[in-house]
Amino acid sequence: MPSSGTLIKTNIVDAVAKANGFTRKKSIETVEILLEPIKSTLESGNDVMISGFGKFRVKNKKKGRGRNPATGKDIVLAPRKVITFKWSEKLKEKLNTKPITKAKKRRVKSKKNRFPECD
Reported as a single tens digit per residue, the pLDDT across 73-115 is: 999 999 999 999 999 999 999 888 876 666 665 665 655 555 5
Q: Are 80 and 108 in contact (CB under 8 A)?
A: no
pLDDT value for 3: 67
Beta bridge partners of 10: none
Residue 48 is inside which H or E element, if any? strand 48-50
pLDDT value for 97: 81
Beta bridge partners of 66: 75
Residue 31 is inside which H or E element, if any? helix 24-43
Residues 6+ positions from 52 with CB-CB distance below 8 Å = 88, 90, 91
pLDDT reading at 34 higher than 70: yes
> What global pTM score does this model have?
0.67
